[in-house]
Structure 1
Amino acid sequence: MAQFYRRPMMHFDRRELYTDLETRVRYLHSFLDFSTRDIEALTTGAKYIKALIPALVNIVYKKLLQYDITARAFETRSTSYEGPVDMNLNEQSPQILHRKMFLRAYLTRLCSDPTKMEYWEYLDKVGMMHVGQGRIHPLHVEYVHIGVTLSFIQDVLTEAILSHPRLKMDRKIALVKALSKVIWIQNDLFAKWYVRDGDEFTEDRLVPNIEPEGYLHGKKILRSGSDSESEIEDADVMTGSCPFKNLATPVASAAYAVGAAEAQTADKQPTPPSPMAPASPTISLSAIPRPAAHVVAGSA
Structure 2
Amino acid sequence: MAPLQRRPMQHIDRKDLYTNLETRIQYLHSFLDFSSNDIEALIGGSKYIKALIPAIVNIVYKKLLQYDITARAFETRSTSYEGPVDPNLNDSSPQILHRKMFLRGYLNKLCSDPSRMEFWEYLDKVGMMHVGQGRKHPLHVEYVHIGVTLSFIQDVLTEAILSHPRLKLDRKIALVKALGKVIWIQNDLFAKWYVRDGDEFADEIQVPEIEREGYLHGRKILHDGSESESEAEAPAADPGCPFKGLAMKTNGANVGDISNIESQWQWSSVHTNTSHMTAISRWGIMVLRLVMFQAGGMCCVWLASVGA
Structure-2-length-normalised TM-score: 0.74
Q: Secondary structure at the match of 1:109?
A: helix
Aligned to 1:24: 24
The equivalences for 1:217-236 within 5 A come to 217-223=217-223, 226-227=226-227
Structure 1 runs (4+) greater than 3 angstroms displaced: 1-6, 244-248, 253-258
How is 1:153-172 mapped onto 2 (pairs within 5 angstroms)?
A: 153-172=153-172
> Residue deviations 1:185-209, cap 9 Å, x none?
0000000000011011001012443
For 1:196, what is the secondary structure of its paired residue? coil
Is residue 245 from structure 1 mapped to residue 245 from structure 2 by the alignment?
Answer: no
**Contact 2:104–2:224 under 8 Å retained in 1:** no
Change in Cα spacing, 1:17 to 1:129, as seen in structure 2 (3 Å) is: same
Contact 2:108 2:223 in 1 (8 A): no
Distance (Å, rounded) in 2 between the aligned partners of 1:5 and 1:91: 57
Q: 2:119 maps to which residue?
A: 119
Cα distance, 1:219 vs structure 2:
1.5
Q: Tell me, what secondary structure is at the counterpart of 1:227?
A: coil
1:16-43: per-residue Cα shift (whole Å, max 9, x none)? Answer: 0000000000000000000011011001
Output the CA distance in 1 between the equivalents of 2:224 and 2:56.
18
Return the offset for 1:96. Answer: 1.4
How many angstroms does 1:247 deviate by? 8.6
Cα offset, 1:11, TM superposition: 1.3
Fraction of identical pairs, as percent: 78
- Residue 254 (structure 1) shift: 8.0
Query: d(CA) in 1 for partners of 2:219 and 2:129?
Result: 16
Q: Evaluate the alpha carbon distance shift between residue 2 and residue 42 of structure 1 in structure 2; reply closer, same or farther with a 3 A threshold.
A: closer
Query: Residues 147 and 4 (structure 1 numbering): CA distance in 2 closer, same or farther, change over 3 Å?
Result: same
User: 1:256 offset after TM fit, Å?
Assistant: 4.8
2:212 aligned with 1:205: no
Change (3 A) 1:254 1:164: farther
Whole-angstrom distance in 2 between the partners of 1:3 and 1:43: 40
User: Larger deviation: 121-130 or 90-99?
Assistant: 90-99
Task: Tell me, in whole angstroms, the C-alpha distance in 1 between the residues paired with 2:53 and 2:225.
Answer: 13
Report SS of the residue matched to 1:81: coil
Normalised by the length of structure 1, the TM-score is 0.76
Across the aligned residues of Structure 1 and Structure 2, the Cα RMSD in angstroms comes to: 2.3
The amino acid of 1:188's aligned partner reads D
Cα gap change, 1:20 to 1:166, in 2 (>3 Å): same
Aligned residue for 2:86? 86
* Residue 185 of structure 1: aligned partner: 185
Shift of 1:245: 3.2
Aligned-partner Cα distance in 1 for 2:163–2:225: 29
Q: Structure 2: which 5+ residue stretches go unaligned?
A: 232-249, 268-308
Aligned letter for 1:112? Answer: S
In the other structure, the counterpart of 1:259 is: 265
CA displacement at 1:4 relative to structure 2: 6.2
Once the two structures are TM-superposed, the CA of residue 114 in structure 1 deviates from its matched residue by 0.6
Shift of 1:152: 0.2
Supply the distance in 1 between the matched residues of 2:55 and 2:119 (Cα, whole angstroms): 24
Amino acid in the other structure paired with 2:54: P
Q: Is the 8 A contact 2:79 2:140 kept in 1?
A: yes
Q: Once the two structures are superposed, what CA deviation does each residue of 1:45-94 show, in whole Å capped at 9, x if it has no partner?
A: 00000000000110010000000000000000000000011111110112
Aligned length: 245
Q: CA deviation at 1:110?
A: 0.5
Distance 1:28 1:84, change over 3 A: same
Q: Secondary structure at the match of 2:155?
A: helix
